[in-house]
Amino acid sequence: MDDRPAEIVKFDNVGLRYGTDPEVLSNLSFTLYPGSFYFLTGASGAGKTSLLKLLYLAQRPSRGAIRMFGQDLITMPRQRLPDLRRRLGVVFQNFRLVPHLTAFDNVALPLRLAGADDKRVAKAVTDMLDWVGLAHRAHAVPASLSGGEQQRVAIARAVIARPRMLIADEPTGNVDPDMALKLLRLFEALNHRVGTTVVVATHDVHLLKKVPDSLIMRLNKGQLSDPTGALRYPPRPAAPAANSQ
Amino acid sequence: MSLPTPPLTDAPPAAGAAGADALTSWTLGQKTAQLLPSTRFAGPIPWVIAILIALVVIASAGGLALGKLANSARADLSAAVTVQVVEPNPNLRSVRGAEAVRVLTALDGVRAVRLVPEAELAALLEPWLGEGAGNGDVPIPALIDVELTRSAGPADIAAIEAALKDTVPGARVDAQSDWLRPVYNALAALQWLALGLIALVALATAAAVWLAARNAFAGARDTVEIIHLLGATDRQISAVFLRSVLREAAFGAVVGAALGAGAVWLLGQQFAALDSGMTSGGGLGLGDWLVIAAVPLAGVLIALLTARITIALALKGML
């Protein structure tokens, strides 16, 4: 009997090209399981952002098959994609906060899109901003926030709707090492205490050692390698409890 | 840094859950209408719509007035028939004229018969023939005005001709409305012109809104992409744009309707001052003003429909 948990994401021989250019991702086949913490590494231009775009549904692959939360993304009509997107939390590389909305309204967006009532939104957003240490900046617009503060607003927005998978693209790229570590701890807390699957793209190899339970996927020129056994199941021989839900 | 458990509430409803989408279309429009930078009345679109609506209001009023004018003139003359007794001999003309009156009076369907006096004919022709029109140098046919009890159709004309054929040879029978047929045709052409103008202006309104919606979408593309990736449905995103379009189009429609109605009222005053029997038949009634009042509403609907289609097409370009 197969006792594997239902996969969050399954890629099968996926390729991606933009227009008529050569493929930026080739023959990607892997599975992401619930409650795991993955680092996606690789040099600049290796294809990390392209892979993340496939994961957060900003792009369809040029070939191959992708299943997410048990559903086939290739044949899924676009009007059903918002339902899947609401199960994801995304921290974009450049934060992508809505520039004329306050920190409060930016964090509130996923809940408002989902139809949560005002009372619930107000409490959840206030608590979340407090959690990331920005309660006092709730009414500030992104332009008046520092890079680290914007990053924390982006993270608060990504996690407020309790995503089943959190995807972060170079989330520590614009912050100092102390802040980078704090942000990583936020992701770990979400992963350990809520069970959210986390995928963090980074080219900072020092970061990988900071999260001992993490699994590593390495991209090189659009091809995926598997230095820690992340692409097998169980993900690695001595998988920690946190990763084997 | 030691972190407490993230303060996560229960999972929010999924997209497409019962009531959620309809609710969030409104909620998003109301609570986060500021998702798009506020451009209230800053752009030219409300003013373009105002000008176009004013033109349609004027064209509609003109078309309706022309229609009423034509109907009024047609109603006045539809039962009238003219009989001309063409006879150069004045004595014989008088005899035949009197005979024609007798025959016509005896016909079924004839309400009134009047032999137009020669002095009246001379006065009518004086502007063209001069003061000597009535001195007998120029033979003038005897004219008989006949009023029927119904509109004069070809069968009525043929019946009158048949009745006069033996007793009044050379009598010419014409429905008076035939003389005004070119005028009716011209009025109908002007009505079609007004209709064409309305159609063109409606197209121009749609084109202006299409351009504005496209530009608004392009200007807010980053924001749209963000909320799209956060799980916004097409309907929710459209609601944000439509809210803005509704506000601007409603403003333009109200201003345009006021301008157009003012212009129509002024023109009405000018025509009323002519005190002409012809133009008095073109006055607008309550029903006409209700039709004119529907113009700004139709303008807003066209703007909303165009914007909705434009945004839907733009969103289709996104995954």
pLDDT of residue B131: 72
Which residue intervals of B130-276 are DSSP H helices?
A: 154-165, 176-179, 181-219, 221-229, 234-274
**What are the b/e assignments for A203-218, b being 16+ CB within 10 Å?**
beeebbebbeebbbbb
pTM equals 0.72
pLDDT of residue B89: 83
Query: What is the least distance, in Å, from the CA of B233 to any CA of chain A?
Result: 6
Q: Pick the residue of B8, B34, B316, B318 with the most A CBs within 10 A to test the interface with A by mutation.
A: B8
pLDDT band at B38 (very low <50, low <70, confident <90, very high): low
Average pLDDT of the segment spanning A74-102: 91
Best CA proximity match to A37, nearest among A150, A194, A219: A194
pLDDT of residue A4: 56
Query: What is the least distance, in Å, from the CA of A188 to any CA of chain B?
Result: 10
Q: Are B60 and B198 in contact (CB under 8 A)?
A: yes
Closest CB to A110 among B5, B231, B319 = B231
pLDDT of residue A138: 94
pLDDT band at B148 (very low <50, low <70, confident <90, very high): confident
SS3 for A22-84 is CCCEEEEEEEECCCCEEEEECCCCCCHHHHHHHHCCCCCCCEEEEEECCEECCCCCHHHHHHH
pLDDT band at B1 (very low <50, low <70, confident <90, very high): very low
Closest CB to B9 among A99, A120, A181 = A120
Contact residues, B window 221-250, toward A, CB-based 8 Å cutoff: 222-223, 225-234, 236
User: Which region among A84-88, A225-229, B258-262 has the lowest average model confidence (pLDDT)?
Assistant: A225-229
CB contact under 8 A, A82 and B11: no
CA B319 to CA B311: how far, in whole Å? Answer: 14
Q: Are A47 and A25 in contact (CB under 8 A)?
A: yes
CB contact under 8 A, A181 and B12: no
CA A35 to CA A244: how far, in whole Å? Answer: 7
Phi, psi (deg, nearest 5) at residue A32: -110, 130
CB contact under 8 A, B230 and A109: yes
pLDDT digits (tens, 9 = 90+) for B171-211: 888 887 777 778 888 888 888 998 999 999 999 989 988 98
- Is any Cβ of chain B less than 8 angstroms from the Cβ of A158? no
Closest CB to A83 among B16, B34, B227 = B16
Q: Are A162 and B8 in contact (CB under 8 A)?
A: yes
CA A180 to CA B32: how far, in whole Å? Answer: 31
Contact residues, A window 118-157, toward B, CB-based 8 Å cutoff: 118, 120, 123-124, 127-128, 130-131, 157
Percent of chain A with pLDDT over 90: 38
Q: Token pair for residue A244?
A: 């084997």
CB contact under 8 A, B20 and A115: yes
Q: Token pair for residue B264?
A: 């129509």
**Rg of chain A over all Cα atoms, to the nearest angstrom:** 18
**A192, burial (CB in 10 Å: exposed 0-12, middle 13-18, buried 19+):** middle
Contacts of A100 in chain B (CB under 8 A): 34, 37
pLDDT digits (tens, 9 = 90+) for A183-201: 788 788 888 887 889 999 9
Q: Which residue of B has its CA nearest to A56?
A: B229
Closest CB to B232 among A82, A105, A116 = A82
CA A34 to CA A7: how far, in whole Å? Answer: 7
pLDDT digits (tens, 9 = 90+) for B50-69: 999 999 999 999 889 888 88
CA A103 to CA B237: how far, in whole Å? Answer: 20
